[in-house]
């Protein structure tokens, strides 16, 4: 039986849960803590919080939100956005995060991945890669798709693994927020090149898209945002899809 985790993604700006299309045109959704608890209670396996303006302002403002959610939610939480140092990681873990996602700072200083993994373990060290298609390949971006890193996604994924990352989040900017399905070619290529778990992000809009991810890739987890936030799907729909595809489904307490 396959184990594919369901991970609602909560993009946060200041105190608001927001959602955009291709990481632009953000719209307010609501209170991130309330949505996080609702998703966890409904069967989410993990939660993913991203401060979408943290790198721009060189700080992460999620400490209070993460602390609040950690007091009432008992599923693992990954937190990213503006994490620049080992000290930033330590502070976020102290608030209740289980894993920290590195992106912009890691592309500028890849040794940060190794430093974090050595200090906190690979299980707490996640590298988030924002991918955009470019002439049959994929480029790694930062700052919610605003800036090119000059890195090829596949090569960067392999380097991140070699440097100690225990998991990768691969988000397709081309698909993100559109609800047209994941970039299965991208996810297939990455999972063929690395051995660590891959979280697929960007594009889930129907339960068929989740079935395709299960059937056509070796992804370890599915990140879901707009379909849940705008109530096009609910956690029960996604859990039923896992059942139908012979995947493990966490029992609700």
Per residue in 124-136, pLDDT tens?
A: 999 999 999 988 8
pTM, whole model, 2 decimals?
0.94
Domain of 180? 5-244
Number of domains the chain is built from: 1
pLDDT at 65: 92
pLDDT at 23: 52
| 3-state DSSP assignment of residue 28 | strand
Q: Is residue 87 in a domain? A: yes
pLDDT at 178: 84
Which stretches of the chain are DSSP H helices? Answer: 32-41, 54-57, 63-70, 86-94, 104-108, 111-120, 153-162, 184-193, 207-216, 226-229, 235-244
* Catalytic residue list contains 192: no
Which of 11, 88, 176, 183 is flagged as catalytic? 11
- For residue 247, the 8-state DSSP code is B
Q: Is residue 80 in a domain? A: yes
The DSSP secondary structure of 56-125, one letter per residue, reads HHT----HHHHHHHHTT--S-EEEESS--SHHHHHHHHHTT-SEEEE-HHHHH-THHHHHHHHHH-GGGE
pLDDT at 62: 87
pLDDT at 161: 98
Q: Is residue 251 in a domain? A: no
Q: Is residue 58 in a domain? A: yes
pLDDT at 20: 59
Cα separation, 106 vs 122, whole angstroms: 15
Intervals of the chain under pLDDT 50: none
Q: Is residue 253 in a domain? A: no
Nearest in space to 201 (alpha carbons), one of 155, 168, 232, 234: 168
pLDDT at 30: 84
Q: Is residue 38 in a domain? A: yes
* Whether 131 contacts 121, CB under 8 Å: no
CATH number of the domain enclosing 36: 3.20.20.70
Which of 88, 130, 167, 183 is flagged as catalytic? 130
Torsion of CA 227, 42, 184, 143, to 10 degrees: 70
Tokens (6 digits) for 21: 């299309």
Q: Is residue 89 in a domain? A: yes
Per-residue model confidence as pLDDT tens digits over 175-233: 988 889 999 999 999 999 999 999 999 999 999 999 999 999 999 999 999 999 999 99
Nearest in space to 225 (alpha carbons), one of 241, 250, 202: 202
Residues 6+ apart with CB under 8 A from 235: 6, 8, 39, 42, 43, 44, 228
Q: Is residue 98 in a domain? A: yes
* Catalytic residue list contains 46: no
């Amino acid at each position: 039986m396959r184990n594919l985790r369901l991970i609602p993604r909560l993009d946060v700006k200041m105190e608001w849960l927001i959602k955009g299309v291709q990481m632009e045109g953000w719209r307010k959704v609501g209170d991130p803590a309330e949505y996080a608890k609702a998703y966890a209670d409904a069967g989410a396996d993990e939660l993913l919080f991203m401060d979408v303006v943290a790198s721009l302002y060189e700080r992460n403002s999620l400490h209070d939100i993460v602390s609040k959610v950690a007091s009432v939610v008992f599923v693992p939480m990954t937190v990213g956005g503006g994490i620049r140092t080992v000290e930033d990681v330590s502070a976020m873990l102290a608030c209740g995060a289980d894993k920290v996602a590195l992106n912009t700072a890691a592309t500028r200083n890849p040794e940060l991945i190794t430093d974090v993994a050595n200090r906190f373990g690979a299980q707490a060290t996640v590298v988030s890669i924002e991918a955009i298609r470019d002439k049959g390949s994929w480029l790694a971006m930062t700052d919610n798709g605003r800036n090119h890193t000059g890195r090829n996604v596949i090569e960067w994924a392999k380097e991140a693994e070699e440097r100690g990352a225990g998991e990768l989040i691969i988000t397709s900017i081309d698909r993100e927020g559109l609800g047209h399905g994941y970039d299965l070619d991208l996810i297939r290529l990455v999972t063929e090149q690395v051995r660590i778990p891959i979280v697929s992000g960007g594009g889930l809009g129907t339960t068929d898209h989740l079935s395709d991810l299960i059937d056509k890739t070796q992804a370890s987890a599915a990140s879901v945002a707009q379909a849940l936030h705008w109530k096009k799907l609910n956690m029960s729909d996604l859990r039923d899809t896992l059942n139908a595809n012979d995947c493990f489904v966490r029992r609700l307490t």
